[in-house]
């Protein structure tokens, strides 16, 4: 169980970090920095001892400290973090120093990302404006993340879209359910122990699938809405993708993110989702989710299909005409996305046409569920 750290433990962490850079620090010198802290009505005395190339934190009072600091623990943290000017700190009575102040030079200065060797990640023109810099994708991968695979409605609506794309380029259709992907356990072994290598590397299908996906210029993520979000198998896939990112943090187009590690120069994604309910708001959370993913994966979203009433449209004779229009529009959408990197307004409108619901429709749906009770018809 994690507990809040004591000031002494925080000092231990600080000194451990300083020690990592100390042997290469130009201003090394032997001596001690004595601290007299107050924290929540208790007194804490400790000192940093510098001896040869080693910095060590010790509890208590040093015999002949080179320099002494007296302050509240918080004020020391502010000083150490560069948020309290030492001169101002002394003038305001927040800090008291005694001895040789120049001895503080033994504490290594802060590093820049460049000095730490953090990869730079310039935002590409394509990421900013994929349509303007669109090139017909040579390879498309459709990742169908419906746990029902070939039997699902996701597959049914996806087929015409794939047909449209296939008339223009090479498309590979993958069923995510065919890959065993363990959920991430959050150990960060892939960032700390063996960078880039997950503990399940050879034990499940994630690595094989991720390598395949990496080669696509356009990735279509297709999935049904499950409890207002993406199905668990797809979330597992995205969580495991953390092993393929750098742990470092940089400023990106839309806030902080990790610098990219594996991505094709002009890789983009298309979101294709269906749901059982009638209102478009059922896609709100996945829409936001993919916006965040696009930023964090440096992979712009170039188009979206969010088809509500997926089962109702398929099953009702009264929606037959609408369903046919939608299917034809999905095929057109497949052609358009490959050629132009976007869907035109008319196709978008037809795919997303609203299905008005009446109380009568809801009664019919409820009757359908009642009819299915005990039917063993799992392939609905």
Ligand X SMILES: Cc1cc2nc3c(=O)[nH]c(=O)nc-3n(C[C@H](O)[C@H](O)[C@H](O)COP(=O)(O)O)c2cc1C
Q: How far is the CB of 146 from ligand X (least distance, A)?
A: 3
Cβ atoms of 216 and 267 closer than 8 Å: yes
- Residue ranges in 43-102 that form contacts with ligand X under rule CB under 6 A: none
Q: How far is the CB of 285 from ligand X (least distance, A)?
A: 9
Total residues contacting ligand X by CB under 6 A comes to 17
Q: How far is the CB of 378 from ligand X (least distance, A)?
A: 11
Does residue 154 bind ligand X (CB under 6 A)? yes
- Tally helices (H) and strands (E) across the chain: 13, 12
Q: At what angle do helices 232-240 and 206-214 cross, to 10 degrees?
A: 80
Stretch that binds ligand X, among 13-21, 200-208, 254-262, 269-277 (CB under 6 A): 269-277
Stretch that binds ligand X, among 75-83, 169-177, 197-205, 222-230 (CB under 6 A): 222-230
SS3 per residue for 280-291 = HHHHHHHHHHHH
Does residue 310 bind ligand X (CB under 6 A)? yes
Does residue 227 bind ligand X (CB under 6 A)? yes
User: Cβ closer to ligand X: 106 or 275?
Assistant: 275
Bridge partners (DSSP) of residue 281 are none
User: Cβ closer to ligand X: 56 or 357?
Assistant: 357
Cβ atoms of 75 and 89 closer than 8 Å: yes
Rounded Cα gap, residues 170 and 298, in angstroms: 23
Rounded Cα gap, residues 359 and 370, in angstroms: 17
Stretch that binds ligand X, among 75-83, 185-193, 224-232, 291-299 (CB under 6 A): 224-232
Phi, psi angles (nearest 5°) of residue 208? -60, -45
Helix ranges (H only) for 93-170 are 125-128, 153-166
Output the CA angle 222-225-231, nearest 5 degrees: 75
Does residue 311 bind ligand X (CB under 6 A)? yes
Does residue 137 bind ligand X (CB under 6 A)? no
DSSP secondary structure of 208-261: HHHHHHHT-SEEEEEEE-BTTB--HHHHHHHHHGGGGS-S--EEETTEEEPPP-
User: Cβ closer to ligand X: 34 or 154?
Assistant: 154
Closest-CB residue for ligand X? 152
Q: How far apart are the first and last CA of the chain?
A: 46
One of 228, 349, 354, 363 touching ligand X (CB under 6 A):
228
Q: How far is the CB of 310 from ligand X (least distance, A)?
A: 4
- For residue 243, the tally of other CB atoms under 10 A from its CB is 23
Q: How far is the CB of 221 from ligand X (least distance, A)?
A: 13
Does residue 11 bind ligand X (CB under 6 A)? no
Q: How far is the CB of 376 from ligand X (least distance, A)?
A: 17
Does residue 267 bind ligand X (CB under 6 A)? no
Rounded Cα gap, residues 372 and 380, in angstroms: 9
One of 36, 58, 148, 163 touching ligand X (CB under 6 A):
148
Strand bridging mode 42-51 / 54-59: antiparallel
Q: How far is the CB of 329 from ligand X (least distance, A)?
A: 18
One of 276, 287, 361, 364 touching ligand X (CB under 6 A):
276
- For residue 362, the tally of other CB atoms under 10 A from its CB is 11
**Helix (H, G, I), strand (E, B), or coil: what is residue 90?**
helix
Stretch that binds ligand X, among 92-100, 205-213, 276-284, 296-304 (CB under 6 A): 276-284
Q: How far is the CB of 283 from ligand X (least distance, A)?
A: 9
Question: Binding residues for ligand X, per CB under 6 A?
Answer: 146, 148, 152-154, 224-228, 274-277, 282, 310-311
């Amino acid at each position: 169980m994690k507990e809040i750290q004591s000031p002494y433990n925080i000092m231990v962490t600080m000194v451990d970090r300083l020690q990592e850079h100390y042997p290469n620090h130009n201003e090394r010198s032997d001596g001690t920095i004595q601290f007299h802290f107050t924290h929540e009505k208790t007194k804490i005395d400790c000192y940093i001892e510098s001896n040869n190339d080693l910095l060590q934190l010790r509890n208590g009072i040093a015999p002949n400290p080179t320099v002494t600091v007296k302050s509240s623990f918080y004020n020391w943290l502010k000083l150490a973090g560069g948020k309290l000017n030492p001169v101002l700190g002394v003038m305001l009575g927040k800090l008291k120093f005694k001895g040789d102040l120049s001895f503080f030079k033994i504490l290594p200065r802060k590093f820049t990302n460049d000095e730490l060797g953090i990869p730079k990640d310039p935002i590409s023109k394509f990421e900013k404006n994929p349509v303007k810099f669109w090139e017909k994708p040579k390879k498309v991968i459709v990742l169908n993340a419906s746990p029902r695979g070939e039997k699902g409605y996701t597959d049914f609506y996806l087929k015409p879209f794939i047909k449209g794309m296939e008339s223009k380029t090479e498309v590979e259709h993958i069923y995510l359910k065919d890959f065993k992907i363990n959920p991430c356990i959050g150990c960060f072994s892939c960032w700390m122990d063996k960078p880039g290598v997950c503990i399940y590397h050879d034990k499940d299908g994630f690595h094989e699938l991720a390598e395949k996906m990496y080669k696509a210029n356009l990735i279509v993520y297709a999935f049904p809405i499950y409890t207002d979000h993406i199905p668990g198998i797809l979330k597992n896939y995205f969580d495991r993708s953390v092993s393929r990112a750098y742990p470092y943090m940089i400023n990106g187009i839309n806030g902080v993110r990790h610098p990219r590690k594996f991505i094709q120069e002009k890789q983009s994604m298309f979101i294709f989702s269906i749901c059982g309910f009638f209102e478009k708001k059922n896609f709100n959370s996945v829409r936001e989710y993919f916006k965040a993913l696009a930023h964090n994966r440096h992979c712009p979203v170039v188009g979206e299909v969010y088809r509500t009433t997926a089962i109702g449209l398929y099953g009702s004779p009264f929606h037959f005409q609408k369903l046919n229009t939608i299917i034809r529009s999905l095929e057109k959408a497949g052609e358009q996305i490959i050629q132009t990197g976007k869907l035109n307004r008319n196709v978008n409108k037809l795919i997303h046409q609203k299905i008005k619901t009446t109380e009568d429709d809801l009664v019919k749906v409820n009757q359908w569920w009642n009819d299915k009770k005990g039917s063993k018809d799992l392939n609905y």
